[in-house]
Amino acid sequence: MAGVQQQQMQGVQSIPVPQPQPQPPPPAQSQQQQQQQQQQSLDDPTSKVKMLVPHLREALVNLMKITSHNFAANAAVDNALKSESTSQKLDKNLEEFYSICDQIEVNLRLARQYAIQGAESAHHTPIPVTGIKPEQGLGDTIQTYSQYISTVKTQITCAREIHDALLEGCRKLGNPT
């Protein structure tokens, strides 16, 4: 009986189970999506930083290798086993490492400025702005561009009134009657 079960188990194991094949999206849509993603990644400083981190790791590994070789060479020179020799590779790798660090720093600062700008925008215009017509039921949560323009005009008028009031107050302080 045990032999029959083993034969059944072997038969079950040898039958290949068909795996469902995912359907690839139509080529035009996938190319369009890839182009949009590439464009977004070129514009987004955070994704630029993510792309630069592997290069930074590689540059750091190369820099450490060159540095260890230089230490070994300097130790050999100190022990009078070898004559003094200089390596330009260290300077080149150090420059590459610092260059990538500078690029990451610039992109992180830019991402921070984007975040601050987004927070300020949300503070002064709490309803998001869109250039397209809102769908049914979303009228209160999305502001069209024309509504945004009227909001900005109202803010400009208010700022002018405050400016004029401050100027008038300064004039009254300067020329008491």
Segment 122-154, tens digit of pLDDT: 777 766 666 565 555 555 567 778 888 888 888
pLDDT at 141: 65
CB 128 within 8 A of CB 142: yes
Number of Cβ within 10 Å of residue 93's Cβ equals: 20
pLDDT at 120: 81
Q: Are residues 57 and 81 in the same domain?
A: yes
Strands 129-130 and 143-144: parallel
Examine the pLDDT at 52 and tell me if it is beyond 90: yes
Tally of domains in the chain: 2
Most confident region among 33-42, 60-69, 80-89 by mean pLDDT: 60-69
Residue linked to tokens 């260059």: 99
Integer angstrom CA distances of residue 42 from 34, 36, 113: 12, 10, 17
Q: Are residues 142 and 161 in the same domain?
A: yes
Whole-model pTM: value is 0.53
In the chain the first and final C-alpha atoms are separated, in Å, by: 117
Residue 88 in any domain: the answer is yes
- 106 or 23: which carries more pLDDT confidence? 106
What's the pLDDT band for 38 if we cut at 50, 70, 90?
Answer: low
Give residue 44's domain range: 40-124
pLDDT at 119: 83
| Stretch among 60-74, 79-93, 96-110 having the lowest mean pLDDT | 79-93
What's the pLDDT band for 4 if we cut at 50, 70, 90?
Answer: very low
Helix axes 45-78, 27-43, angle to 10 degrees: 60
Q: Are residues 154 and 168 in the same domain?
A: yes
